[in-house]
Amino acid sequence: MKVLKFGGTSVGSPERMKNVSKLITDGNKQIVVLSAMSGTTNNLVEISDYYKKGNDDGASNMISALEKKYDGVIEGLLQTQTFRDKAKAIITRECDVVRSFAHKPFNVQAEKMILARGEIMSTNLVQLYHEENNIPSVLLNSLEFMFVDGDGEPVMTKIESELKKVLQRYPDTTLFITQGFICTNDKGEVDNLKRGGSDYSASLIGAAINADVVEIWTDIDGIHNNDPRIVKNTHPIAEMSFDEAAELAYFGAKILHPSTVLPAKVKNIPVLLKNTMEPHAKGTTISNKVTGTGIKAIAAKDGLTAIKIKSGRMLLAYGFLCRVFEIFEKYKTPIDLITTSEVALSLTIDKVDYLAQITDELKKLGTVEIDKDQTIICIVGNMIAEEQGHATEVLKSLKDISVRMICYGGSDHNISVLIDTKNKEKALIALNDNLFGNN
């Protein structure tokens, strides 16, 4: 069985939805994970923002605009009045859920309920299109089998057992459609896997059913060697190892949600990245096959905060790092990069919810300096930390940019540097020119 995920652009219009339908009706047994139509989740975030600010009219206007947009989608997608009415009823029902939060105190749970509407609408629309055109498919409610714990981490055993139960209801079905992104948390409430989380849904589902392959269908022909939004003349990478792809996704390549690779890696399921607009393009295959050596790709992750702790107490002492890490553990804040000297320690975090508390506690251990608006540039490849010359080339490329931290040797396939975000574009272009040549 295969798992295929189609992102926002791939289901972004009636024509695109019909195109997806063509790609998934080849008779193979598959679970198809859909994102919300492009723009919808952003709209829902904005509506939530109006509620948060107490501007219910602003929210109401945006909901009406969204509903109107979907009227157009229904018209383009469905032919008969019966099916248009069915679709309209679903869109109205979902928009009414969003409307129901007016004139009430707004909280995180309300926001999660609102954000879930996008995937519910897109999957229902594609399913109705199939029903109208007599294409056999079954719509599964991912809230019935995608479970996360109190920390928002997937509960794999429960996902496996619940999904199995759901699938057993339809022994003769070959095509299943379900929502990416959304899940149920430990309190039984609607939750999500964070922005871009449909990729993660697909790999979790793939791992749960031991799929033959997880295919991520998007708007570009695979993972490119650099961010195509910033750098010109990037090219797709045909093959990557799980570890290389994981580093790239974690350190910023927007094409994959950072956690996507792990569930597939654990079950050794290849992940294919494919272009919905160009289905015959080769794309990228991520597997346990390690290919080639040298630098393959570069990604950038913004929104980092650098923390430096200077302390004479570090000198010739043991246990200092442990005390520092305990503070981050207490506030459930992951550390991305870390470098140490004999008297100081620099690290980066991207979750800043508890920055004030963390800073307060760190001040008991030493002098603390905080720098916001930092970017990690991650250079990924095979053996790049073992072969000679790669680090030199990276630093040579960055000769005109001030580098705040360098992490090298943590793994065989990654060199990471921390720079000020204002220098990101310049750094990516300089690295591209020097490492891959400007062609």
Query: Where on the chain is the footprint of ligand ASP (CB under 6 A)?
Result: 7-8, 35-36, 41, 118, 180-181, 195-198
| Both tokens assigned to 147 | 């479970």
Site string for ligand ADP, 181-210 (x = CB under 6 A): ---------------x--------------
Least Cβ distance, residue 220 to ligand ADP (angstroms): 4
Measure the CA–CA gap between 394 and 387, rounded to whole angstroms.
13
C-alpha 291 chain-centroid distance:
25
Window 357 to 416, contacts with Mg ion (CB under 5 A): none
228 binds ligand ADP (CB under 6 A): yes
Window 32 to 61, contacts with ligand ADP (CB under 6 A): 35
255 binds ligand ADP (CB under 6 A): yes
Least Cβ distance, residue 193 to ligand ASP (angstroms): 8
404 binds ligand ADP (CB under 6 A): no
180 binds, among ligand ADP, Mg ion, ligand ASP, none (CB under 5 to 8 A by kind): ligand ASP
Select from 329, 190, 207, 204 the least CA-distant residue to 257.
204
Contact segment (CB under 6 A) with ligand ADP among 5-13, 51-59, 309-317, 410-418 equals 5-13
Buried b (16+ CB within 10 A) or exposed e, 241-250: bbbbbbbbbb
218 binds ligand ADP (CB under 6 A): yes
Phi/psi of residue 397, nearest 5 degrees: -60, -30
Least Cβ distance, residue 12 to Mg ion (angstroms): 12
Least Cβ distance, residue 380 to ligand ADP (angstroms): 10
Specify the amino acid at residue 277: M
227 binds ligand ADP (CB under 6 A): yes
130 binds, among ligand ADP, Mg ion, ligand ASP, none (CB under 5 to 8 A by kind): none
**In the complex, which residue's CB is closest to Mg ion?**
196
Contact segment (CB under 6 A) with ligand ADP among 100-108, 216-224, 309-317, 363-371 equals 216-224
Q: What is the DSSP string of 268-321?
A: T--EEEEETTSTTS--EEEES-----EEEEEEEEEEEEEEEEE-GGGTT-SSHH
**In the complex, which residue's CB is closest to ligand ADP?**
7
Q: Which pairs with CB-CB distance under 8 Å and at least 24 residues apart come from 129-136?
A: 129/17, 129/18, 129/21, 129/77, 129/78, 130/21, 130/175, 130/177, 131/83, 132/78, 132/79, 132/80, 132/83, 133/21, 135/21, 135/25, 135/175, 136/173, 136/174, 136/175
Cβ-based nearer residue to ligand ADP, 10 or 346: 10
Least Cβ distance, residue 342 to ligand ASP (angstroms): 43
Least Cβ distance, residue 78 to ligand ASP (angstroms): 22
224 binds ligand ADP (CB under 6 A): yes
What's the Cα-to-Cα distance from 414 to each of 77, 130, 245, 389, rounded to whole Å?
Answer: 45, 45, 11, 14
User: Residues with Cβ < 8 Å from 49, sequence gap 6 or more?
Assistant: none
Q: Where are the alpha helices (DSSP H) in 116-218?
A: 117-132, 156-168, 198-208
412 binds ligand ADP (CB under 6 A): no
Cβ-based nearer residue to ligand ASP, 7 or 381: 7
Measure the CA–CA gap between 425 and 421, rounded to whole angstroms.
8
196 binds Mg ion (CB under 5 A): yes
Least Cβ distance, residue 24 to Mg ion (angstroms): 18
223 binds ligand ADP (CB under 6 A): yes
Measure the CA–CA gap between 40 and 44, rounded to whole angstroms.
6
Phi/psi of residue 113, nearest 5 degrees: -60, -40
Contact segment (CB under 6 A) with ligand ADP among 3-11, 23-31, 108-116, 313-321 equals 3-11
Measure the CA–CA gap between 35 and 150, rounded to whole angstroms.
24
Q: How many CB atoms lie within 10 A of CB 426?
A: 13
118 binds ligand ADP (CB under 6 A): no
Measure the CA–CA gap between 66 and 72, rounded to whole angstroms.
10
Contact segment (CB under 6 A) with ligand ADP among 79-87, 123-131, 169-177, 223-231 equals 223-231
Residues that bind Mg ion (CB under 5 A): 7, 196
Residues that bind ligand ADP (CB under 6 A): 7-10, 35, 196, 218-220, 223-224, 227-229, 253-255, 299
